Amino acid sequence: MNYNNQLKMLKQKDGNAEKWIKFVPGLTESGHLDKIIKNQITPKEADSMGPPEVTLEMSRAAMGWPSKDIAKNEINITNEIFAGHIPVRIYRKQKSDGSLPVIIFLHGGGFFGGSLDNVDHPCRLLADKGDIEVISIDYRLAPESKYPEGLLDCYRAVKWVYEHAESLRIDKEKIAIAGDSAGGNLSITTTLLDRTLGTNFIKAEVLLYATVLRGINGQGELWDATKLEMKEDVEIITNYVKGFGDLDTQVDKWYLNLGVDASNPFISPVHSKDLAFLPPTMIAVGEFDPLRLQNELLVDKLRAAKVPTQYIQYNGMIHAFMDQIGDLPQAEDLMEETVNFVLEVFN
C-alpha cells in the first residue's frame, strides 16, 4: 500500500514554518524515531573505540546507501558527456512520448562525494512516477575542484539542457531543478545564478534536506538538537546531530578556498537578498535531520519574499533517507511528492 494512502498529513505551524507533516507508520504524533532509522543510528559495541580519523577517501566511500530499483515501468537510460568533462545520465519512461517537462537532478555528498550511481534508483523512480524526463548531473567535486567550479558545472548543465531541448525531447519552458543535501544547495544556488544572469531557465525547484547555511561549524541555535522536540531516544538523536555537526568544519575546508566568505549567498543561500525572484519551491526534510532548522529558516525567508513554498516534514527520518529506496516507504513517497509538485507547477 502506498505510504501516502496509509498515513494522514497534518498541516502544522511550528514557529513561522508552516508545514505538512507525514507521520511514522503506525503513529499519529511527532517526536519518535522510525524503528528502521533508530537501528541504524544506535551506537554499536565497536563504536565505543571512538570514531576513526576522517579522511576524504573514507568519507567518499561511505556515500549512498543500498537501495532497490522499484520502478514499475521500463525506463530508458542513456549516458552523455557535455562540455568535455561533465557526465549526465538521462532517464525517461519507454512509453512516454512527445516533449516532456524535465527535472535536472543534482546528487548530494557534501560537495566532495556522491555520484550518478548513488542517485540512480531515486532518478529511475522520479522518471517512473510521471511523464517527466530526469537528467542527473555529475558535477565536479571538491577538494580537487573547489567552489565555485561545481556550481558553474550545474549552471552549464541547465544551459545545455535548455539549448538542446529538441534533441533531449524536453519542453525548455518546463525545466525544474532538484537535489538532495549538497545537491539541494547547488539547486537553489544554481537557480539564484540563473536569475542573476537573467537567463531564467529554471521554473521550479525542489530542495531535499538541503544544506543552506555554511560556515557555522555545527554550532549555534540552528544545530540545537533540543529544538527538534524529541519525545524519546533523546541521547541517540542528540549524539547523531552532534556527530553530523562535527563534520561541518571539515566539509567547508574541502569545499571552500581559504578566505572565502561562507555567507556569500551562492554558498549560503539563506543570506540572499534576491529570494523573491525564485520560482515555486518545495522543501522536504526529516524530523531529526541536523539540517532541519536551517531548512525552516529558509522556508520562512522564502515565504516572507512571497515565493510559493511547500514544506514537508517526514517524521522519524534523519538525513539522506531518500537513499533508501525500496526499504523506506518514506523514500518512495518523497520521490512521488517531488514529481507531483513539479507537474503541478507546470500544469
Catalytic positions? 181, 289, 319
| Residues 315, 325 contacting (CB under 8 angstroms) | no
Instruction: Please list, in sequence order, all residues whose beta carbon lies within 8 angstroms of the beta carbon of residue 330, skipping any fewer than 6 positions away.
Output: 3, 22, 34, 314, 316, 317, 321
| Residues 225, 203 contacting (CB under 8 angstroms) | no
The single-letter code of the amino acid at 19 is K
CA 108 distance to own-chain centroid: 7
SS3 88: strand
Q: Dihedral through CA 262, CA 323, CA 94, CA 200, nearest 10? A: -20
| Residues 136, 121 contacting (CB under 8 angstroms) | no
Instruction: Please list, in sequence order, all residues whose beta carbon lies within 8 angstroms of the beta carbon of residue 230, skipping any fewer than 6 positions away.
Output: 31, 237, 238, 288
Q: Specify burial of residue 159 (Cβ count, 10 A radius: 0-12, 13-18, 19+).
A: middle
Q: Specify burial of residue 335 (Cβ count, 10 A radius: 0-12, 13-18, 19+).
A: buried
Distance CA 45, CA 56 (A): 25
